[in-house]
Amino acid sequence: MTLSGQLDLLPLARHGDGEPMMSDRLCALLVRRGRPLEVGQIVAQVLRLRGCPLALQRRLVAELVEADARLAWLGRDLVGLAPPRWASQAVADAAFCIVDLETTGGSPGSSKITEIGAVRVEGLRITERFATLVDPERPIPETITRLTGISDAMVAGRPEIGAALADFVAFARDDVLVAHNAPFDLRFLTYERRRTAGRYFTQPWLDTLTLARRLLAGSVPRHDLATLAEWADTIVRPEHRALPDAEATAELLIRFFGMLAERDVNTVERVVAIGAPGGTRHSWKLALADDLPTAPGIYLMRNRRGEVLYVGKARNLRRRVRSYFGPGGRHGRLIGRALEQLERIDYECCASELDALLAEHRALRDLRPPCNRQGLPGPTWRIVLTSADVPRLRVVRGYPVARDGTLLCVTTERRARAVREVLLALYPLESAHRLPHPDFGDAPGRSPGATSDDDPTRVHELQALVGPRPAVPLGLLAARYADAVSAGRLGVDDAGRSGFEALLRELRVAWRAHTIRQRRALLVEPAAAPGMAVVFGIAYGEIVGRAEVDLATWAVSVDRILRVMAATRAVPATSPLDPEALIAEARMRDRGPGGTLELGPELDIGAALAAVAGRIERACAERRVATPPAPELTLLDA
C-alpha cells in the first residue's frame, strides 16, 4: 500500500480548535516513518516535552496507546501501528516467523551476519523453511568457526547481506517475528535492513527466552536453547546453525503456546504482551482487564482465595488496570507483590471522580489491603501542650478531644517525636528541661539557650502558631529559627533542615484544617453518564449534600443542598476532622474555580443558584464515554 493510501486509513479526528488529536498525530507519524518509535521519540515529537522523567514518559505514552485501537506496544518502550485483527486474532490462526542468526561477533556493524535460518509456524505447526549463508565480506574469526562450523570457504560466493536480507523479508512477510534472545537477532536484522534498504521491521516480536523465564521459573536450571530443547524433548536439537536452531525454537514456541492457552492467553496481542523483549512479567494477566468499563470507579485485586490485595481508584477503570501489564509499566514492591498473587479483579463504577476517591477511602478503611500504603488510615499521634502551670510538650497516641491541649496531629510516632524536638529547639520551655522524662523523648542535656522571654510567652506563641490566623506567629517563627540556629539548639545540617521542613509540613496541614472547618462550597463534577453532573455540598469539614443532576432539573436538587448547608453549623475547632473532608478539599483544589463555587458567611440561595448554573452547564457538556451499568460490588464479601 502506498504512503498516501495508508494515511487515508487514519481518520484524523480533531478538537474543537481544529488541531488533530495526539493519537492521530502519532499514527500519522508512524506511517511516515515506516517503523515503530520508542517512547522517548514519541514524547519529544508528538507530545513535544523536554526533560520529562522516563517513568512519566511511559505513563503518558501508555495513555495514548490504551486509548486508541490503532496503536500497540510492539516491545519494551516500542510503539507501532497495531496489525490487522491484533486484539482478536487467535494464535492458532496467526503466522509466526521464527528466525535464528549466526554472526561473526556480538555487535552489529563491527560484526556481520554469516547465516540466516527461519521457519514459518501456521496452525501451530511448521509449514515452511528458509535458510541461506551470507558472505560477511570479512574473515570469520577462528573461534566462531569452531563454534558454528561456518568457515570462510563456505560463505565465499554466497549472497551479500542486502540480497540475503531481501529474500528473508519476502519469506517473513508480515508474520510475528520470533527468536530465542530476540533482542540479539533484532539488533542485527534492524541494523542491516536500515543500512542496506533504509527500512525497518514493523511487525511485533516474540522472545522465547522471555517466555521461558516467565513460564518455567524454577522448572529448569537454565534458559539457554539447548537446555530448553532437552526439557521440551524437541525433534530437532540446536547445534549453533541457523536453520536447526530456528526449528528447535519453533517446537519450543508451540509448546509454550499450549502452556499459555491454559492461562487463557489465546490472542496474538496477549502473547506478544507477555513474550515481547523487555515486557512485564505479568503481561499474560492482561485478560483480567478485558471486561472492565471505561468509567471512573475503584478496582479490587484479589488472590485465588478471594482476599483483597490492593485497592485503587481510576478515572478510566479499563485503561488504568491495563497499564499494570503493558511494556511501559513500572511498579513498586507492594504492587508487584499484588500482581504476583493476582487472580481476579472486582470493580465498582462511580458517578464521578470524587465518588471514586471517597469509595477508595472507605474500601481502604474497611478492608485494610496488605499491598496498599498510600491512603490507609493509620493511628493518630498528637503533640500535646500541657497546662500553663508546668508547660511541657508530650507525644500521645489517639484522636484529640476538646481542650486537651493538642497542637498537631501526626500520622506516625517517629514523625511526631521529630517535630516535637524541633518545637522544643524553637520554643525552649524551661519546664521541659527541668523535668526530663525519658518516656517522652525529652533531652535533659539540652540547654534552653539565652532567651529574653519566659514560658507563658512561648506557650502563647505555640498556641497561636497552630491557630486559624498564623500570619503574625509565622513571622515570629522565622526569628526563633535564626535564634535557635545561632544558639546551637537547631543544626544547619541536613538533619536540622529536614526537621524544620517537617514542622512546616505539619503546620500547613493544621492551617488547612482550620480553613476547611470555616469553608462552605459547592463542588460540581462531570458525571460518567453523558449530559449529567454531580453536585456536592461541603460545609465546615463535612459533605452534607450530594445530587446527580441534568440541565433540565438541576435547580431543584441544588436548592435542596443549599438549604441543608444553610442549616449546618460549624463544628468546634478541637473536634477531629473527617478524612473525607480532606479528600473533598483536595478535589476542590484540583477542580479550581471552574468547578468550585465558594459560598460566603451569609448564604444567599438565589445568588448561589445563579452563580453555579454555568459550572453545571460546563460539567454536563464535558465529553464522557457512556458505559453499561456495572454489577453492584459488595465490599463486605472480602
Residue 547, pLDDT > 80, answer yes
Q: How many domains does the chain have?
A: 5
Residue 101, pLDDT > 70, answer yes
pLDDT, residue 374, reads 67
* Maximum mean pLDDT: which of 37-51, 271-285, 550-564, 592-606: 550-564
159-184, pLDDT tens digit by residue? 999 999 999 999 999 899 999 998 89
Domain boundary among 345, 367, 389: 367
- Could you tell me if 340 and 412 lie in one domain? no
Do 150 and 69 contact (CB within 8 A), yes or no? no
Residue 83 lies in a domain: no
- Mean pLDDT, rounded, for 262-275: 84
- Could you tell me if 306 and 222 lie in one domain? no
- Could you tell me if 253 and 139 lie in one domain? yes
* Maximum mean pLDDT: which of 102-106, 390-394, 430-434: 102-106
Residue 636 lies in a domain: no
- Could you tell me if 255 and 134 lie in one domain? yes
| 242 vs 99: CA distance, rounded Å | 8
302-345, pLDDT tens digit by residue? 998 999 999 999 988 988 888 787 655 556 778 888 888 888 89
Do 367 and 311 contact (CB within 8 A), yes or no? yes
Q: Enter the C-alpha cell of residue 554.
A: 438541576
Do 186 and 97 contact (CB within 8 A), yes or no? no
Specify burial of residue 541 (Cβ count, 10 A radius: 0-12, 13-18, 19+): buried
Residue 550 lies in a domain: yes
Residue 5, pLDDT > 50, answer no
pLDDT, residue 608, reads 94
pLDDT, residue 7, reads 35
| 309 vs 598: CA distance, rounded Å | 39
What CATH number is attached to the domain comprising 354? 3.40.1440.10
Domain boundary among 253, 275, 297: 275
Boundaries of domain holding 120: 91-275
Closest CA to 128 of 163, 86, 175: 175
Report the chain's mean pLDDT, rounded to a whole number: 82
Residue 566, pLDDT > 60, answer yes
* Maximum mean pLDDT: which of 196-210, 269-283, 501-515, 556-570: 556-570
Q: Is 195 or 85 the better-scoring residue by pLDDT?
A: 195
29-51, pLDDT tens digit by residue? 888 877 888 888 888 888 888 77
DSSP string, 468-515: S--HHHHHHHHHHHHHHHHTTSS-SSHHHHHHHHHHHHHHHHHHHHHH
Residue 81 lies in a domain: no
- Could you tell me if 175 and 96 lie in one domain? yes
| 71-75 sheet: strands from edge to edge | 37-38, 78-81, 71-75
- Could you tell me if 497 and 404 lie in one domain? yes
- Could you tell me if 409 and 320 lie in one domain? no
120-140, pLDDT tens digit by residue? 999 999 999 999 999 999 999
pLDDT, residue 322, reads 81
pLDDT, residue 632, reads 38
- H or E stretch covering 145: helix 142-148
Residue 86 lies in a domain: no
- Could you tell me if 528 and 480 lie in one domain? no
- Mean pLDDT, rounded, for 517-530: 90
pLDDT, residue 83, reads 77
- Could you tell me if 169 and 226 lie in one domain? yes
357-384, pLDDT tens digit by residue? 999 999 998 899 999 876 555 557 888 8
Residue 591, pLDDT > 50, answer yes
- Could you tell me if 114 and 254 lie in one domain? yes
- List the single range of 83-97, 130-144, 311-325, 574-588 with lowest mean pLDDT: 574-588
Place of cell 537477532: 185
- Could you tell me if 504 and 531 lie in one domain? no
Do 179 and 208 contact (CB within 8 A), yes or no? yes
What CATH number is attached to the domain comprising 237? 3.30.420.10
Q: Is 420 or 279 the better-scoring residue by pLDDT?
A: 420
Domain boundary among 367, 394, 414: 367
pLDDT, residue 490, reads 83
Is 15 a residue of the active site?
A: no
First-residue to last-residue Cα distance in the chain: 54
Place of cell 438541576: 554
Residue 372 lies in a domain: no
Q: Give the rounded percent of residues in the chain with a pLDDT score beyond 90.
A: 38
Residue 418 lies in a domain: yes
- Could you tell me if 614 and 542 lie in one domain? yes
Closest CA to 445 of 428, 459, 457: 428
Residue 434, pLDDT > 50, answer no
Query: pTM (2 decimals)?
Result: 0.58
Residue 199, pLDDT > 90, answer no
Residue 238, pLDDT > 80, answer yes
Please report which confidence band the pLDDT of residue 433 belongs to, taking 50, 70 and 90 as the band edges.
very low
Residue 96 lies in a domain: yes
- List the single range of 168-177, 182-191, 394-403, 563-572 with lowest mean pLDDT: 394-403
| 288 vs 323: CA distance, rounded Å | 12
pLDDT, residue 270, reads 82
Catalytic residue (one of 240, 331, 433, 514): 240
pLDDT, residue 575, reads 60
Please report which confidence band the pLDDT of residue 20 belongs to, taking 50, 70 and 90 as the band edges.
low
pLDDT, residue 442, reads 43
pLDDT, residue 63, reads 78
- Mean pLDDT, rounded, for 493-498: 76
Chain center to CA of 288: 17
Residue 431, pLDDT > 70, answer no
